[in-house]
Amino acid sequence: MGVGAAAALGVAGCAHPDPDVENPSAKASERAKASPIGDGSTADAGPQPHQPPRPVPLEPGERPPQFVIFSWDGAGEVGNGLFPRFRKLARDHGARMTFFLSGVYCLPESKKRLYKPPNNPVGASDIGYLTDSHIKSTLENLRAAWLEGHEVGTHFNGHFCSGSGSVGNWTEEDWESEIEQAMAFVTEWRTNTGFTDLDPLPFDYRKELVGARTPCLLGQENLLPVARKLGWRYDASSPGGLQMWPKKRQGVWDLPLQQIPFPGHSFEVLSMDYNILANQSKNTTRGPKSNYSAWRRQATESYIAGFDRAYETNRAPFFVGNHFEQWNGGIYMDAVEEAFKYIADDKRKDVRVVSFRQFVDWLDVQDPGLLRGLRKLQVGEKWTARPD
């Protein structure tokens, strides 16, 4: 809703196609056959390919790179081609993203009674279940995405946002149950689906998973102690964050969606497609078609304004959240793609379009005093060689 409602990473700019990830499937099977885990739904294929060199600390007085993280809630491919579309966009620009997978997207509806959501009926899910063919497409895209260097996080399972069963009311024990079930659905998809014609996901999810975003940005307070216990490194569930450098909460990096300029309005909007939609077409995802062109332009300009403000001033990381959806005729997908191309322009050698995991890798090697100085910079306050 609205507010009222280069060198430091060890790589060049992000806008360079990576020819090695044009067709990762060629080696996917060979890699994935190494060290099957459990029922063979996943496998230890070794270090993830296409990662940046080990990050190094900024030198005193060195300007920080501009980090941008595009993330996707749910990460299911339902036949609309959006998952491969944005994988290709990332390949074209040498960028990486984070995909927050909903665990039930790996569970057939025929097996839905395996899901026991906290404070909700057995098998319930407010986002439903995918068809078998869509589960296959989702798994294929997840496997390819990981081999291309992207991060697979979690969006948990049933996406309960209202009523007594809302994730906003969950206890630490509820979150523990939900997380364990999400992990099980991802790591036991072969048993649950019976699919024999797919390679395993080429990673150990219990080791790979280091961060999450909760449904509707609810319930973070009770999630954080569980995240810390599991060794997670970040959480991206806070609503209404500002475009400032992040800090840790309860030992976990807190990476919130941010309030960004909303052209034509005096208030700002949260940096997620749904929140822009809520300020345009209110309670419907199918508003008047006559508004689509103007709304698409407004969404694009909002993302660009958020990026420009950070890039030109305090260099705070810019976080954008999305869904693989076609709301209002798909205008938000077009808007985020257009903004992505603007952000990843090859002329900006100091921009890094990375995953959340890659970003916290960078944060964790920086001098704590330098980070404290960066956190003092307010929204729109220009970085200097001595921000403290």
Each domain of the chain, given as residue ranges in start order, spans 63-375
pLDDT score at 386: 64
24-38: average pLDDT: 63
Pick the CATH number of 63-375 from 3.30.200.20, 1.10.1200.10, 3.20.20.370, 3.30.43.10: 3.20.20.370
Say if residue 26's pLDDT is above 50. Answer: no
pLDDT in tens, 219-272: 999 999 999 999 999 999 998 899 999 999 999 999 999 999 999 999 999 999
Q: Is the pLDDT of residue 4 over 50?
A: no
> Rounded to an integer, what distance in angstroms lies between the CA atom of residue 202 and that of residue 191?
17
What's the rounded Cα separation, in Å, for the pair 347 and 82? 27
Could you count the other beta carbons within 10 Å of the beta carbon of residue 315? 21
Report the pLDDT value the prediction gives residue 239, as an integer from 0 to 100. Answer: 85
| Residue in 101, 183, 196 with CA at minimum distance from that of residue 143 | 101
pLDDT value at 19 more than 60: no
Structural contact between residues 137 and 188, judged by C-beta atoms closer than 8 angstroms: no
Q: What is the CB neighbour count within 10 angstroms for residue 111?
A: 15
Give the pLDDT score at 14: 54
**Averaged over 39-65, what is the pLDDT?**
96
Residues in the chain: 388
Give the C-alpha separation, 6 to 349, whole Å.
6
Class of residue 331 by CB neighbours under 10 A (exposed 0-12, middle 13-18, buried 19+): buried
CA angle (15 as vertex; 12, 17 as ends), nearest 5:
100
| pLDDT recorded at residue 20 | 53
Q: What's the CA gap between 184 and 179, in Å, rounded?
A: 9
